[in-house]
């Protein structure tokens, strides 16, 4: 029998906001968000838990957030501070294992299967990491511990904020059975509606439904969904993943009706793109800028431009003008990124905290 893996998923609680509260304790007990100004049709990257009690959430237009919470304090953020905190967190991770898969500045998988620290207990390692990050970085993180990545990621969200959840091998089938299908990565609102139409609301429903009906409903996702619903996930923690592109993209809650509105969204997206690049040695591999638009009729277009000498965010404005001119209709999604000169492609999408 194969040895069970010990996987930890670490996820900082409202990371950007947590750093700002750490540096200015007066912000700890007030509703706080990081993002663009409401006057420029900005979007929030994250919000602290005080703000969330008003219904404020990440990826929400700032103007809507201010209507929900008139006293909301909005800061533009400081990516350099966040990158420093991320590097500190990863230095702590490396004290326990070298098998680390970063997902964003504040989120990572750790494989501690062969680690002897803390008597080899993944739960004790997770707790030690959480305490160290709080003492050395000054923020709180949540952790999930399980035998695979899917369950560990779900578990890290189980007791947020500042939580720790361990799902033992003996309890994992029962644990996943109770999960709503929305807990599975890739199941958005549309997929939830399709699954609900065939009586699938929780993972236990996925376990027993006829596979041919499931495949007819969700296509190629069917096998993966049924595996996850049974607690099966064989994906390893990948220390390095070659990419052909690094990008961020966002689907807006309301279509952007003009080129000006699209241009106003660029600063937030470019800040997130910079965060994706932080701590990774990709700059020497970048050979093109690219920008993607998806219009409200679901047609999409991509524009690319080779890197000439130095990087300039102004290039993305030019690419946006070009892409928008191709259809000149409301836009539902914008993506920005860089092409890399490597073989295997993997595109990273933006994950709001």
DSSP per-residue codes, 61-85: BHHHHHHH-TT-EEE---HHHHHHH
Residues 268, 343: Cα–Cα separation, whole Å: 29
Give the angle 171-177-183 at the CA atoms, nearest 5°.
110
185 and 222 belong to one structural domain: yes
Greatest CA separation for the chain = 61
User: Domain boundary residue among 167, 186, 220?
Assistant: 167
Distance of CA 122 to the CA centre of its chain: 23
> Mean pLDDT in the chain?
88
Secondary-structure breakdown of the chain: helix, strand, coil percentages, each rounded to the nearest 5: 40, 20, 35
Give burial (CB, 10 Å; 0-12/13-18/19+) of 321.
middle
54 and 159 belong to one structural domain: yes
8 and 127 belong to one structural domain: yes
Exposure letters 265-278 (e unless 16+ CB within 10 A, then b): bbbbbebbbebbeb
CATH, residue 204: 1.10.150.20
Answer whether residue 40 is part of any domain: yes
Answer whether residue 349 is part of any domain: no
Answer whether residue 140 is part of any domain: yes
The larger pLDDT score, comparing residue 315 to residue 341, is at: 315
Give how many domains the chain has, as a whole number. 3
CATH, residue 277: 3.30.1490.100
pLDDT at 350 over 60: no
pLDDT at 334 over 50: yes
| 3-class secondary structure, 226 | helix
187 and 163 belong to one structural domain: no
* Residue 353 confidence class, pLDDT cut points 50, 70, 90: very low
Q: Average pLDDT, stretch 151-176?
A: 95
| 3-class secondary structure, 255 | strand
Two tokens, residue 322:
């070009």
Two tokens, residue 80:
């350099």
Residue tagged active-site, from 20, 107, 249, 268:
107
Give pLDDT, residue 74: 92
Residues 81, 88: Cα–Cα separation, whole Å: 11
User: Domain boundary residue among 167, 187, 218?
Assistant: 167
Answer whether residue 94 is part of any domain: yes
103 and 183 belong to one structural domain: no
CB 287 within 8 A of CB 306: yes
pLDDT at 346 over 50: no
CATH, residue 25: 3.30.70.270
Q: Hey, which residues does 43 pair with through a beta bridge?
A: 61
Give burial (CB, 10 Å; 0-12/13-18/19+) of 36.
buried
- The mean-pLDDT minimum among 47-51, 61-65, 241-245, 293-297 falls in 241-245
Annotated binding site: 11, 106
158 and 27 belong to one structural domain: yes
Range of the domain at 204: 174-229
The larger pLDDT score, comparing residue 196 to residue 240, is at: 196
45 and 105 belong to one structural domain: yes
pLDDT at 235 over 60: yes
30 and 162 belong to one structural domain: yes
Two tokens, residue 37:
């100004």
pLDDT by residue (tens digit) across 127-138? 999 999 999 999
Two tokens, residue 216:
């007819």
């638009």: which residue's tokens? Answer: 293
Mark whether 242 is an active-site residue. no
In the chain the first and final C-alpha atoms are separated, in Å, by 38
274's CB contacts (< 8 A; 6+ apart) are: 79
Annotated binding site for Mg(2+): 11, 106
101 and 50 belong to one structural domain: yes
CB 323 within 8 A of CB 302: yes
Answer whether residue 345 is part of any domain: no
């Amino acid at each position: 029998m194969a040895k069970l893996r010990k996987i930890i998923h670490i996820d900082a609680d409202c990371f950007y906001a947590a750093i700002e509260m750490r540096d200015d304790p007066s912000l700890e007990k007030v509703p706080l968000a990081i993002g663009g100004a409401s006057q420029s049709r900005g979007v929030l990257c994250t919000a602290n838990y005080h703000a969330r009690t008003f219904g404020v959430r990440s990826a929400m237009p700032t103007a809507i957030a201010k209507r929900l919470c008139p006293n909301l304090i909005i800061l533009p953020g400081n990516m350099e501070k966040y990158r420093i905190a991320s590097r500190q967190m990863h230095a702590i991770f490396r004290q326990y294992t070298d098998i680390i898969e970063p997902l964003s500045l504040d989120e990572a998988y750790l494989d501690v299967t062969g680690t002897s620290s803390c008597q080899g207990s993944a739960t004790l390692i997770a707790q030690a990491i959480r305490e160290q990050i709080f003492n050395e970085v000054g923020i709180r993180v949540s952790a999930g511990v399980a035998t695979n990545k899917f369950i560990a990621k779900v578990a890290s969200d189980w007791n947020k904020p500042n939580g720790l959840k361990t799902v033992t091998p003996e309890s994992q089938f029962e644990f996943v059975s109770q999960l709503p299908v929305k807990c599975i990565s890739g199941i958005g609102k549309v997929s939830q509606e399709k699954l609900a139409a065939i009586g699938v609301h929780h993972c236990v429903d996925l376990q027993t439904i006829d596979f041919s009906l499931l495949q007819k409903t969700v296509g190629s996702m069917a096998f993966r969904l049924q595996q996850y619903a049974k607690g099966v996930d064989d994906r390893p923690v990948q220390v390095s993943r070659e990419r052909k592109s690094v990008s961020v993209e966002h689907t807006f809650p309301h279509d952007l009706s003009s080129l000006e509105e699209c241009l106003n969204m660029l600063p937030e997206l470019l800040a997130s793109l910079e965060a994706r690049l932080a701590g990774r040695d990709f700059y020497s591999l970048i050979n093109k800028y690219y920008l993607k638009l998806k219009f409200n009729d679901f047609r999409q277009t991509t524009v690319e431009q080779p890197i000439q000498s130095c990087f300039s965010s102004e290039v993305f404005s030019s690419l946006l003008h070009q892409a928008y001119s191709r259809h000149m209709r409301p836009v539902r999604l914008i993506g920005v990124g860089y092409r890399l000169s490597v073989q295997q492609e993997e595109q990273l999408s933006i994950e709001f905290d």
